[in-house]
A and B are shown apart, each in its own frame.
Chain A
Amino acid sequence: MSGASVVLMGAEIVPSVAGAYGVSVTVQDLEFTLGEGPASDAYAEGKPVLVDDLELATSRWPLFARALADTGMRSMYAIPLQVGAVKLGVLVLYRDQPGVLENEELSAALLVADLVTNQVLDLQAGAVAESLAWGLEVDDNRAVVHQATGMISAQLDCGIGEALVRLRGHAFAAERPIDEVAADVVTRQLRFEDS
């Protein structure tokens, strides 16, 4: 990869490039200025958008593809940062040459996307872990975790994103695995209430 950036997005915020490595912030800003591009599509569709060669993508994003070619970037891979309906933004990887993303590279990118998603959620929860590995457990994705998130959202009458942050924050503070806390919520042994 030639570069990477993390873009935070949301219904009520202007997309902001939270970090960029090896590629200038303006490269990603181009997409939002023009109002079209792979990152926006990935965010909207809820799945990775992989562009092997931007020069061939002019029919899909006529303005953006042309503008990005001027920057020397030829391929772009946008991975949404999301947990179901909780959509935080997009991780974008760039290459200065066209090329197919291999399966191992995509797996790695998905792993990094999960890591970034967890980090953003933890920051929102005020849960600064000493180890990056916390919260990267496979059990984070058990159905019970997502069900509990929904229940908490209804209990607190808050958005689904905040509910997930609250669930993770509680698990962190209690030093318990997220799926165990979630199981308690789903079996109605634990209820979230604002005092």
Chain B
Amino acid sequence: MANSKKASGPRATGKCPVFLALEVTMEHKEEWLARTFVELADTLVADFDLIDFLSLLLERCAELLDSAEVGLALAAGRGELRVMASSSERMRALELIEVQNDEGPCRDCLRSGEQVLNQRLDGAENRWPRFAPEAREAGFHMVHALPLRLRSDVIGAMNIFSSEFRELSPQDVNLTQALADVATIGILQERAVKHGTDLAAQLQGALNSRIVIEQAKGIVGERRRVDLDEAFALLRSYARGNRTPLSAVARAIIDHSLAPAELHLALGAQRPARDKRSAS
């Protein structure tokens, strides 16, 4: 599907060297911020695909908060938490969010509308009897959760898992909350939300789109004999390389109008990150 609009910036050439293995130090933060917001704004207007947009936003967030995995969950029709996107497609963070239906930082955040910051997992067994041990077993030491707010409603939460004991600086908290607010805008941007049930209908559509992506990941993972995180990378790379929404690529895989063999990682595209903990 050709698109006549030619985007400026690294995505146009498929090369993103500046974002590969980037460690965001204090001196680089302003530059990183500027690039990140330009990149997000570019995605917000052209060929907008919600899940691609959220994945990108969460990847940048994880970069900002070194040694972190970040996931975003929405409250679905019955109030249960459903993952919309994450900084990495590894199962760990996704599953840890999914277990939080009854208790956990996301659940606390949804209930109170307040940020949950700098919670050490050792010693959190009373607060989160099921979630805390599972998160620790997965190798995480600290969690945070930030609300996705629309006026007085909290529609979801951004969950940050850190494998270090380092607390977030106030600057990092502000930046991350700003990214969460941008995520909320992205989720709602398709049309003006008149009242509560329009929002709920919008969210149902978003949640269903996520399921389509998961189904497509399964097909690609099986056909190409790759891990599901690599399957996601293939889908996304094809979408960006062909200026097509990620959701359209996923649907095409499922209805067989696009073969998994046709997917490839674009030049310079990022392979799924190796486990940062084992590298340090």
A residues with a Cβ closer than 8 A to B are 45-50, 80, 82-86, 100-103, 106-107, 110-111, 114, 138, 141-144, 146-155, 160, 186
Contact = CB atoms under 8 A, between A and B. Distances in A.
Contact of B218 (A80, A141, A154): A154
A84 B212 contact: yes
Contact of B77 (A80, A111, A144, A147): A111
Given A111-B78, A138-B78, A146 B214 contact: yes
Interface string B191-202: 000011110111
Contacts of A106: 77, 197, 200-201
A148 B228 CA distance: 10
Q: Is the interface of A mostly helix, strand, loop or mixed?
A: helix
Contacts of A186: 218, 228
A150 B218 contact: yes
A85 B251 contact: yes
Contacts of A50: 197-198, 201
Nearest to A155: B222
A47 B78 contact: no
B107 interface: no
B112 interface: no
A182 to B, nearest CB: 9
A49 B201 contact: yes
A156 to B, nearest CB: 10
Contact of A107 (B78, B198, B214, B220): B78
A150 B215 contact: yes
B101 interface: yes
Given A50-B197, A103-B200, A106-B200, A143 B254 contact: no
B197 A100 contact: yes
Contacts of A148: 218
Given A83-B211, A151-B222, A143 B98 contact: yes
Interface in B122-142: none
B211 A84 contact: yes
Nearest to A182: B218
B254 A147 contact: no
B251 A141 contact: no
Nearest to A138: B80
Contact of B209 (A46, A102, A114, A144): A46
Nearest to B212: A84
Nearest to B223: A154
Q: Is the interface of B mostly helix, strand, loop or mixed?
A: helix
Interface in B76-135: 76-80, 82-83, 91, 94-95, 98, 101
A80 to B, nearest CB: 8
A100 B195 contact: yes
Given A48-B200, A154-B219, 10 more contacts: A48-B204, A50-B201, A85-B212, A85-B215, A111-B78, A141-B82, A142-B95, A143-B98, A146-B214, A160-B215
B217 interface: yes
A-B residue pairs, 9 tightest by C-beta: A150-B218, A47-B205, A84-B211, A110-B77, A146-B214, A154-B222, A48-B201, A147-B218, A150-B219
Given A47-B208, A82-B208, A106-B77, A147 B251 contact: no
Contacts of B197: 50, 100-103, 106
8 contacts: A50-B201, A85-B250, A103-B197, A138-B101, A150-B217, A150-B254, A153-B215, A153-B254
A111 B198 CA distance: 17
Nearest to B228: A147
Given A50-B198, A106-B200, A149 B228 contact: no
A152 B83 CA distance: 22
A147 B221 contact: yes
A43 to B, nearest CB: 12
B32 to A, nearest CB: 30
A153 B212 contact: no
B27 interface: no
Contacts of B255: 85
B208 A84 contact: yes
Contact of A84 (B83, B91, B202, B214): B214
Contacts of A45: 205
A150 B235 CA distance: 14
Nearest to A101: B197
A50 B199 CA distance: 11
Nearest to B253: A150
